[in-house]
Structure 1
Amino acid sequence: MGTLKPYLMSEDARAQAEFYTKALGGEIVSIITHEQAMGAQNDYKHKVMHLCLSVPGGSHIFMADAIEPLQHGTGVYLSLEFQSENEARTAFANLAEGGQVKYPFEFQPFGLFLGELRDKFGVLWMITSEQKPE
């Protein structure tokens, strides 16, 4: 069985990862630049070649600075499920700062809390919690 780990290309991986640690919790586990990994001594030497970010629930997001111009896609969401409505609601609000809410975080007829947004870096998120409303 495989383990899915999203890998995001970024215009500024360090800043994006720091935003996610504040928004979601977790921590930046490691950062490796092109200079550290390959001894690069060019314009890319300080760019992030690989960054590992832990997020709640034991998952990880990998990131790197893009070398080529980015085109943000609309076909992929990062879906993050929380054990409690409050945790999910807080993460949703934090990720929405500077971004755009597509669907507010609300209890849905199909039995869970769900909200969708595009964060300030262009990444699409689906935040959920299966906790029933009180």
Structure 2
Amino acid sequence: MGVLKPFIYSEDARSQADFYIRSLGGNLESVITHGESMGVQNDLQDKVIHMCLSVAGGNYIFMSDSMESNLQGNNMSLNIDYPSSEEAREAFSKLADGGHVIYPFEQQPFGLYLGELTDRFGVRWMITAPSVSTRS
């Protein structure tokens, strides 16, 4: 079975990754710059060509600094499903800092907790949790 690992092209991958790590918990696993991988000695040498971060209990996001203009995050939505509404609410609140809440995080008629937002980098997130904690 395949595993989805989103790849985000960013205007500032280091800042965006730091924000996600602080908001969702996790670690910066690796960073490779253009200078390190290709020996580039110009304006691109410090730009990130590949970055891996683990967030929210072992999910991976790959990132790089974009070399061209792009529309930030408006063509996708990232979803993280947490085992408890408390954990999900905390992540939602942190991601919403400097962003825009589309749907507040609250219990939905169909039984899940759900909140949707666009973070300060323009990436759309759906944060979910079951109505009853799945922790043992």
For residues 39 and 110 of structure 1, what CA distance do their matches in structure 2 show? Answer: 53
Name the % identity.
Answer: 56
User: Residue type of the partner of 1:108?
Assistant: Q
**1:23 aligned onto 2:23:** yes
Unaligned runs of 5+ in 1: none
For residues 66 and 74 of structure 2, what CA distance do their matches in structure 1 show? Answer: 18
- Residue 53 of structure 2 is matched in structure 1 by 53
User: Residue type of the partner of 1:83?
Assistant: P
Matches within 5 A, 1:1-134: 1-132=1-132
Residue 2 of structure 1 and its aligned partner are, at CA, apart by 1.5
Relative to structure 2, which stretch is displaced further, 66-75 or 42-51? Answer: 66-75
8 Å Cα contact 2:10/2:72 also seen in 1: no
Residue 71 of structure 1 and its aligned partner are, at CA, apart by 1.4
The CA deviation string for residues 13-64 of structure 1, in whole angstroms up to 9 with x for no partner, is 0000001111010011111000111111121110000010101232100000
User: Residue type of the partner of 1:99?
Assistant: G
SS of corresponding position for 1:87? helix
For residues 30 and 74 of structure 1, what CA distance do their matches in structure 2 show? Answer: 26
For residues 64 and 128 of structure 2, what CA distance do their matches in structure 1 show? Answer: 26
Residue 73 of structure 1 and its aligned partner are, at CA, apart by 4.5
Runs of 4+ in 1 over 6 A off after TM superposition: none
Paired positions, count:
133
8 Å Cα contact 2:31/2:52 also seen in 1: yes
RMSD: 1.2
Distance 1:46 1:28, change over 3 A: same
Unaligned runs of 5+ in 2: none
